[in-house]
């Protein structure tokens, strides 16, 4: 959530920057500033009224003590009017703050200056590419056919038990899935991240804290009886562990990792491009979260990008990195790099990770600050990234490592799987 004082100070620059998102902010900024002016003037009137009321109350007490009952009773009539005024000011103030907050929740983050303008994924910039795309033998299969051939993932059985988008992993497929989770977690811990096991449901405050609510409410599974939400990513509970905290210099850097299943409704997703593991309602992911001082956050973002690069290099999967344009940038992000692995059997790129810096946008919602050496309280920067989301990584391994004799396991995973071939 943007800070009102920053909107006031940088209004024209923010309007221009948000044009990269194709978001016209001018009228909404005017409304924000008008509401904030009402809030400030009402707060001032309320403070003055309460101060006057307190002053008179003390005088009334002294008058009664000195036997000046008639004067005291006259002042009591005045304090009664002041109490009515303060009640009205409090009501106006409360409604204004609620209206202002509701409006601020509708404004996306301001893109970093290096974010390219654009309206869709077609305008994203490729900034890096690595790995050779393998040449597969004639008759090579997409992963959903390989899963059926080697009996390692059962999409139809998952559909029977739950519904479409909830696959069941079997035998070596389940073991490969577990191997990937363990491998990704071990690499994160080696890189200095602290591991957490997290709740799979969060409350509404957590959803608002990291920006899933109200922007992505329709994409989340909502348990109405308890007003809880199934997590779309471990980012939500992991970042909210620090909600309303006041940090100090000694707390930094904060680097967290955790594995969770993730749940997304993905309403309206149909067609061949979402077949098999390409898009699921439940999937596994290892997440990275960092909380940094503002001056350190972009160096931390580069480290996160390098970390994901290392994972894909170890797995020997061909991949590329895209800098997302304004039109494809997530609501809360200031800058995002997407990683895509090449699916040889499908002949297309599949997104397998997003690494983002949210700057102060989430921290303002979370009321997450730190006290600097001078004692001044400042908002932190929050970052997160997938390292990695498993379904499309698994799809890439199955398709790119298929041979006439079976599916070879990447060397980095063999110590985790205990086998080097699915046949």
Note whether 117 and 123 are within 8 A (CB): yes
Per-residue buried b or exposed e for 389-415, using 16+ beta carbons within 10 Å of the residue's own CB: bbbbbbbbbbbbbbeeebbbbbeebee
By C-alpha distance, which of 355, 381, 364 is closest to 209?
364
pLDDT in the model for residue 115: 98
Same fold, 4-104 and 121-422: no
* Residue 200 phi, psi dihedral angles, 5° rounding: -95, 0
Number of residues written out for the chain? 423
Note whether 332 and 135 are within 8 A (CB): no
Say which CATH topology domain 4-104 has. Answer: Helix Hairpins (1.10.287)
Question: Residue ranges per domain, the chain?
Answer: 4-104, 121-422
Q: Where are the alpha helices (DSSP H) in 384-423?
A: 390-400, 414-417
Condensed to tens digits (0 to 9), the pLDDT of residues 267-313 reads 555 555 678 999 899 999 999 999 999 999 999 999 999 999 999 99
pLDDT in the model for residue 63: 81
Residues making up the annotated binding site are 233, 264-266, 287, 351-354, 384
Condensed to tens digits (0 to 9), the pLDDT of residues 105-155 reads 999 999 999 999 999 999 999 999 999 998 888 889 999 999 999 999 999
Q: Can you list the positions of beta strands (E) in 47-196?
A: 125-130, 153-154, 168-169, 194-195
Residues making up the annotated binding site for L-serine are 233, 264, 287, 384
- Ranges of residues in the chain with a pLDDT under 50 are none
The tokens describing 112, both together, are 């970093």
pTM tops 0.85, yes or no: yes
The tokens describing 153, both together, are 């993932």
pLDDT in the model for residue 270: 52
Rounded CA-CA distance 63/73 in Å is: 9
Name the strands in the sheet holding 125-130, side by side, starting at the edge strand that comes first in the sequence.
125-130, 319-323, 335-343, 348-359, 381-389, 282-292, 254-263, 194-195
Instruction: List the helix and strand counts (H, then E) for the chain.
Output: 13, 19
Please count the other Cβ atoms lying within 10 Å of the Cβ belonging to residue 325: 23
Residues making up the annotated binding site for ATP are 264-266, 351-354
pLDDT in the model for residue 267: 56
Q: Which CATH class is domain 121-422?
A: alpha beta
SS3 93: helix
Note whether 261 and 221 are within 8 A (CB): no
Note whether 214 and 105 are within 8 A (CB): yes
Rounded CA-CA distance 422/150 in Å is: 7
Between helix 171-190 and helix 390-400 the angle, nearest 10°, is 120
3-state SS track over 141-161: CCHHHHHHHCCCEEHHHHHHH
pLDDT in the model for residue 216: 78
Name the strands in the sheet holding 201-203, side by side, starting at the edge strand that comes first in the sequence.
201-203, 228-230, 222-223
pLDDT in the model for residue 273: 62
């Amino acid at each position: 959530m943007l800070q009102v004082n920053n909107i006031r100070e940088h209004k024209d620059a923010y309007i221009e920057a948000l044009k990269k998102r194709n978001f016209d902010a001018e009228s909404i900024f005017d409304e924000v500033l008008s509401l904030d002016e009402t809030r400030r003037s009402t707060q001032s009137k309320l403070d003055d009224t309460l101060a006057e009321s307190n002053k008179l109350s003390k005088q009334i007490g002294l008058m009664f003590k000195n036997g000046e009952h008639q004067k005291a009773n006259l002042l009591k009539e005045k304090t009664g009017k002041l109490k009515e005024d303060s009640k009205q000011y409090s009501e106006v103030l409360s409604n204004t703050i609620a209206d202002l907050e509701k409006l601020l929740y509708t404004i996306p983050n301001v893109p970093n200056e290096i974010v390219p303008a654009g309206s869709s994924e077609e305008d994203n910039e490729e900034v890096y590419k690595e790995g050779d795309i393998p040449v597969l033998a004639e008759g090579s299969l997409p992963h959903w056919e390989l899963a059926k051939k080697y009996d390692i993932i059962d999409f139809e059985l998952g559909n029977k038990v739950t519904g479409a988008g909830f696959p069941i992993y079997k035998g070596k497929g389940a073991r490969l899935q577990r191997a990937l989770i363990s491998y990704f977690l071990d690499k994160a811990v080696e890189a200095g991240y602290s591991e957490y096991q997290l709740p799979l449901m969060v409350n509404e405050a957590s959803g608002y804290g990291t920006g899933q609510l109200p922007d992505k409410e329709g994409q989340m599974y909502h348990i109405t009886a308890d007003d809880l939400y199934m997590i779309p990513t471990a980012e939500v509970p992991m970042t909210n562990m620090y909600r309303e905290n006041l940090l100090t210099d000694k707390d930094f850097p904060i680097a967290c990792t955790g594995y969770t299943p993730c749940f997304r409704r993905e309403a309206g997703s149909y067609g061949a491009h979402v077949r098999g593991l390409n898009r699921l309602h439940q999937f596994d992911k290892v997440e990275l979260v960092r909380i940094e001082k503002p001056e350190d956050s972009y160096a931390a973002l580069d480290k996160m990008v390098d970390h994901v690069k290392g994972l894909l290099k170890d797995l020997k999967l061909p991949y590329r990195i895209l800098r997302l344009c304004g039109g494809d940038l997530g609501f809360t992000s200031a800058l995002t790099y997407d990683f895509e692995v090449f699916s040889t059997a499908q002949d297309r790129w599949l997104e397998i990770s997003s690494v983002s810096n949210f700057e102060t946008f989430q921290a303002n919602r979370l009321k997450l600050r730190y006290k600097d050496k001078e004692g001044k309280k400042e908002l932190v920067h929050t970052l997160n990234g997938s390292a990695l989301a498993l379904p499309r990584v698994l799809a890439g391994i199955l398709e790119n490592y298929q041979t006439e004799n079976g599916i070879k396991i990447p060397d980095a995973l063999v110590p985790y799987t205990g086998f080097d071939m699915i046949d």
